[in-house]
Amino acid sequence: MGTFLVALFFIPNFRWFEHNGNNSFTIFLYGEQIGVVSSEKHADELLMKARKALAARSNSLVMLEPMDYTVNGEEAVFRKNDTDKEIIRNMTEVMQTHTKKARRTAYTMKVRGITVNMANADEIKELLQRAIEKYDPDNTYEVVMEKDADRDLNVLTASIRKKSPEEADEPAIGGAEMILSEADKACTEAYDLGFDDYTLGLQSMGLSQTIEVVEASVSADELMSTEEAFALLTEEQATMQTYEVQSGDTLSAISLKLNIPMETIVAMNSEYMDSVNSTIHIGQTLVITVPEPELAVEWVNREHYSETYEADVKYVDNDEWFTTQQQILQQPQAGYRELIADIHYSNDEEVSRDIIKQDVLMEAVPKIIERGTKIPPTFIWPLSGGRISSYFGRRRSPTAGASTYHKGLDIATPTGSAVYASSGGVVSSAGWQGGYGYAVVIRHPDGHSTRYGHLSKILVSVGQSVAQGQTIARSGSTGVSTGPHLHFEVIENGVQVDPLGFLR
């Protein structure tokens, strides 16, 4: 026991217990326990040293979040204090995580969904100037930054203007050349200009959107270099757009046209497409992503060239035909012409062409098409209710003898349900038709036919005219069938096609 008491006197930082109030103080900084010292005053001194140590680590002003610092005292027996070095290190590490980033004045520019922060307005001007230089090899245009007088805040607006001849890298024009240039620009009819009289090359430049630059306060790590900002604004970003399905479109054709994988198109339209074999319809709107840069430079280039060209198609209306009918009366033949055109670009993408002058060297022969004007008959759902149990196209054979390529729609419905003529026409067949069981075929005025199969009872006869919606039969499960349903087909030029493309 005596040996133990003697040893206590040699333990570092050990204080013999005395009943004289608080003698142990625990430091908390930003909610974290830092260590234990012998007095509150000593804790304050260590905090000051820690702040100096933190400041010494940085070359700029260090700002802390509002200080959350407490020292809790207590009367303790046999409690070891932490060393000054440990406490200063702990304080410095905790304060490091609660420093406020130094802020500075900068200039912020937003282009669509991208924001860039630059050290000054000249850097933004340099950035935009670099973007237009790609399309201005003669250095005839420049970016200007002008203060918006209508705004209370310090807002600059960026625009592009043509330099004066003295500023540009191109020679000044004068005399007869200037007269021709002015006549060219005015497009007056007073001069019959030849091809050599037009000034070719860059005609105008602009930005596709209003570019506003505002003064802002940002942290140092939010600033960008000109190189970083240029890459961000000019690299292609995935932009959401839509595509409307046109006549003749297939998913593979759309994929090739837009250079987007079919699987990507399906994934973006998964609410109504489940695979690359999904059916698409004319007028259907597909969501797609198109890669394009955020910053768009619009420019117009005047060019002189020759080309083959096609004449506009001419149509001859036939009031006795349906709009689904047409016939080619004359095949086209390409012509050849020399022309001058203003070509409008958005970055590298051609947008449109305005022909300024042309000389037709060989006239194009137009394609002439005779087309019908009568609105074709409509097709309605052939049952009151029912649900589709098998779609048109490839499938597993539901029963022995059934086809693995389904040529119509199967609509599940109880036996005896009324079957309606989907469209008006003349009954061309009514009776037993092999695997179809009892079936009815109706020929419609536009040349289409509809077939209604697996019937339990037929209510019409061959040669009879029927109206759209008229009851022609009762549903059943005759022929090769797995249960009560109606098999419904649409036949076009002797070939079954998907009925869903016709039904309202």
The answer to whether residues 216 and 125 belong to one domain is: yes
pLDDT of residue 362: 96
The answer to whether residues 200 and 270 belong to one domain is: no
**pLDDT tens digits for 306-334?**
999 999 999 999 998 888 789 999 999 99
Among 262-271, 309-318, 442-451, the range scoring the smallest mean pLDDT is 262-271
The answer to whether residues 170 and 246 belong to one domain is: no
**pLDDT tens digits for 377-390?**
899 999 998 999 88
**pLDDT tens digits for 117-135?**
888 888 888 889 988 998 9
Question: CATH number, domain at 339?
Answer: 2.20.230
DSSP string covering 441-478, please? EEE-TTS-EEEEEEEEEE---TT-EE-TT-EEEEEB--
Final residue of a structural domain among 293, 311, 329 = 293
The answer to whether residues 51 and 68 belong to one domain is: yes
Average pLDDT over residues 214-243: 79
pTM here is: 0.50
pLDDT of residue 19: 57
What average pLDDT does the structure give for the chain? Answer: 84
The answer to whether residues 484 and 395 belong to one domain is: yes
Tokens, residue 217: 């306060």
Within-domain flag for 382: no
Q: Which residue range(s) make up the domain with 238?
A: 231-293
pLDDT band at 455 (very low <50, low <70, confident <90, very high): very high
Within-domain flag for 403: yes
* 25 has a pLDDT exceeding 80: yes
The answer to whether residues 328 and 240 belong to one domain is: no
* 198 has a pLDDT exceeding 90: yes
Final residue of a structural domain among 252, 278, 293 = 293
pLDDT of residue 476: 96
Question: CATH number, domain at 435?
Answer: 2.70.70.10
Within-domain flag for 212: yes
Average pLDDT over residues 466-476: 96
Number of structural domains (the chain) is: 5
pLDDT of residue 20: 62
Q: What is the largest CA-CA distance in the chain?
A: 128
β-bridge partners, 443: 426, 449
Closest CA to 239 of 208, 277, 273: 208
pLDDT of residue 179: 43
pLDDT band at 168 (very low <50, low <70, confident <90, very high): low
pLDDT of residue 176: 38
Identify whether the C-beta of residue 380 lies closer than 8 Å to the C-beta of residue 420. yes
Helices 121-133 and 226-234, axial angle in degrees (round to 10): 50
Query: Phi and psi at residue 445, in whole multiples of 5°?
Result: -60, -25
Closest CA to 502 of 383, 412, 372, 378: 378
The answer to whether residues 111 and 85 belong to one domain is: no
Query: What's the order of all strands across the beta sheet hosting 335-346?
Result: 201-207, 297-309, 335-346, 349-362
Apex CA 470: angle with CA 469 and CA 474, to 5°?
A: 105
Identify whether the C-beta of residue 392 lies closer than 8 Å to the C-beta of residue 500. yes
Final residue of a structural domain among 65, 100, 135 = 100
Whole-angstrom distance between the N-terminal and C-terminal Cα of the chain?
103
Apex CA 292: angle with CA 234 and CA 285, to 5°?
A: 165
Question: CATH number, domain at 278?
Answer: 3.10.350.10
CA–CA separation, 343 vs 304, rounded Å?
11
